[in-house]
Amino acid sequence: MDIKAVKKHCQSYGAATSELVGEPSNILTYSVGGKHFAYFKTSEPEQWRFSIRTTPERFLELTDMPGIKPARYMGRFHWVTIVDVRQVPDDYLQELIAWSYGKALAGLTKRQQLSIAGG
C-alpha cells in the first residue's frame, strides 16, 4: 500500500475522522470519537512516516523489524512508527490498522460505540 491507499483505508472505518494539525506538530491524525488510532508525520525530515498503536507483544515483534521503530513520545503506550508503509505487506498493514482502530473504539463509552455501530 502506498501513502494514498493507507489514508483512504484509515478513512474507511466507521466514524473515522482526520485532522491536519499544523505547527509545531505537523501531523495528520485519524481518530474515532476523539480517540486517535493512526497518524502521519507531514513535515521533513520524517515526512509520511506512519504511526499506529499495537499490542505489547506485537510492539516487541514489530520494533525488531527493519524500518519500524517505537513512536517518538508514544512508544511507552505501544505505538510504532513505520518509516515506509510500502515496505509492509498490505494485508499485514491492514490488520495492524484494524487493531489500532478497534483499540481506540474500545476506549469509547458504550453509548458512543453503539452510536458508531448504528444501533
How high is the pLDDT of residue 91?
A: 97
Q: What is the C-alpha R_g of the chain?
A: 14
pLDDT tens, position by position, for the chain (119 residues)?
A: 999 999 999 999 989 999 999 888 899 999 999 999 999 999 999 999 999 999 999 999 999 999 999 998 898 899 999 999 999 999 999 999 999 999 999 999 999 999 988 75
Phi/psi at 118 (5° precision): 85, 15
Residue with C-alpha cell 458504550? 110
Q: How far is CA 63 from CA 30, 99, 100, in A?
A: 22, 17, 16
How high is the pLDDT of residue 119?
A: 57
Q: Which domain holds residue 22?
A: 3-109
Residue 117 lies inside a defined structural domain of this protein: no
How high is the pLDDT of residue 72?
A: 87
Residue 54 lies inside a defined structural domain of this protein: yes
Q: Supply the CATH number for residue 14's domain.
A: 3.90.1150.30
CB 78 within 8 A of CB 57: no
Residue 58 lies inside a defined structural domain of this protein: yes
Residue 115 lies inside a defined structural domain of this protein: no
